[in-house]
Amino acid sequence: MRENSNVRIELKNVTKVYRSEERNADVVALQNVSFEIKDKEIVSIVGPSGCGKSTIINIIAGFDTNGVTGEVLIDGARINKIGRDRVVVFQTHALFPWLRVRENIAFGLKIHGLEEKEITKKVKEFIESTNLTGFEEHYPYQLSGGMKQRVALARALINEPRILLMDEPFGALDAQTRLEMQENLLAICRQLHPTILLVTHDIEEAILLSNRILVLTPRPGKIKYKKPVNLPEPREYGVVTCDEFVSCKKELLSILHSYKK
């Protein structure tokens, strides 16, 4: 086992096959994917639709272990099941529609039998940091898309996961709301410093938020390119006009463009 304690997530030659009932209909979704993500790093995955981005998230989360070969290591140890140390934020927010905002956020703490007083205190804190004050008693159907996604984010973060796995978390939002969410995420990261793996189809979002970007090929997904992003920290929206940002964007666009036939 590797002694580099700084590496949080490591994939070694991961291949994933979706087995099908019918003969010869198996789908190879990922092929020999290897990468490392260091502690507190924010890494984005971009690539054409259907290349296996969600599959990577599901494998690291431990949702899907069938047909996976290769090694997935968290802090040097092989994962074998779902863990609360790696929390997923879905594109479809996946809030519990029968629970109020504060109950949704408290879900993970309740499951673990934290004291009621402690839960109330922490929920209040996370409601404030995600700008949801005043909406504690609302149900998800009474919220806008951006608010729902903030509730989903708070519900994940309140468990203080060391790893946050985000699958196109802002994909369903309009440009303005997405921008607010990105800033919100950056602000939260400055406080909690989780390691983040972010799947996105928005190249600007990937550059703005991450330290490194992994580009996948069309199916079967392989890692085509690992691009470090050297932008000044702390990140803020102003960087989108700087030279590094623009050249980075050009480079990624030309790679993704070459996939189009």
Partner 1 sequence: MSSLNEGLAKVWETHRFTLISILSVMFVLAVWAFVTMFFTISALIIPSPTVFLAKLKEVFTQGYVGKSMFAHISSSVLRTSAGLLAAIALGIPIGLAAGYNKYISAIITPFTSFLRPIPPIAYIPLVILWFGIGEFSKVSLVFMGAFLYMTLNCSAGVRSVPRDLILVARNLGATERQLFFKVILPASLPFVVTGIKTATAISWSIIVAAELVAAQEGLGYMIMDAATFFRIPEVYVGIMIVGIIGFVLESIVRLLENKTCHWAGK
237 binds partner 1 (CB under 8 A): no
To ligand ATP, the closest distance from the beta carbon of 112 in angstroms equals 30
Which lies closer to ligand ATP via its Cβ, residue 180 or residue 218?
218
Q: CA 69 from chain center: how many Å?
A: 22
Nearer to partner 1, 104 or 211 (CB): 104
Chosen residue from 47, 52, 108, 146 binding partner 1 by CB under 8 A = 108
Residue 50 binds which of ligand ATP, Mg ion, partner 1, none (CB < 5-8 A, kind-dependent): ligand ATP
- Nearest approach, Cβ of residue 89 and Mg ion (Å): 13
CA 157, 161, 162, 168 torsion: positive or negative?
negative
Residue 95, number of CB atoms within 10 A of its CB: 21
Cβ contacts of residue 77 below 8 Å, gap of 6+?
A: none
Partners of 214 in beta bridges: 45, 226
Question: Are 7 and 71 a contacting pair, CB within 8 Å?
Answer: no
Using the rule CB under 6 A, which residue among 8, 11, 52, 181 binds ligand ATP?
Answer: 52
Q: Is residue 68 a contact point for partner 1 (CB under 8 A)?
A: no
- 52 sits near partner 1 (criterion: CB under 8 A): no
Site string for ligand ATP, 124-163 (x = CB under 6 A): ----------------------------------------
Residue 118 burial by Cβ neighbours in a 10 Å radius (0-12, 13-18, 19+): exposed
| Under rule CB under 8 A, residue 18 binds partner 1 | no
Told to check if 248 binds ligand ATP by CB under 6 A, we report no
**172 sits near ligand ATP (criterion: CB under 6 A):** no
Q: Candidates 31, 44, 54, 184: give the one binding Mg ion (CB under 5 A).
A: 54
Q: What is the spatial distance between Cα 33 and Cα 243, in angstroms, rounded to a whole number?
A: 31
CB-nearest residue to Mg ion: 54
> Closest by alpha carbon to 195, among 3, 35, 68?
35
Residue with tokens 């490392």: 36
Determine the Cα–Cα distance for residues 69 and 17; give it in Å rounded to an integer: 9
Q: Is 190 in the site for partner 1 (CB under 8 A)?
A: no
Sign of CA dihedral 168, 174, 177, 179: positive
Give the footprint of partner 1 on this chain (CB under 8 A). Answer: 61, 63, 82, 84, 86-88, 90, 92, 94, 96-98, 107-108, 111-112, 139-141, 155, 159
Give the footprint of Mg ion on this chain (CB under 5 A). Answer: 54
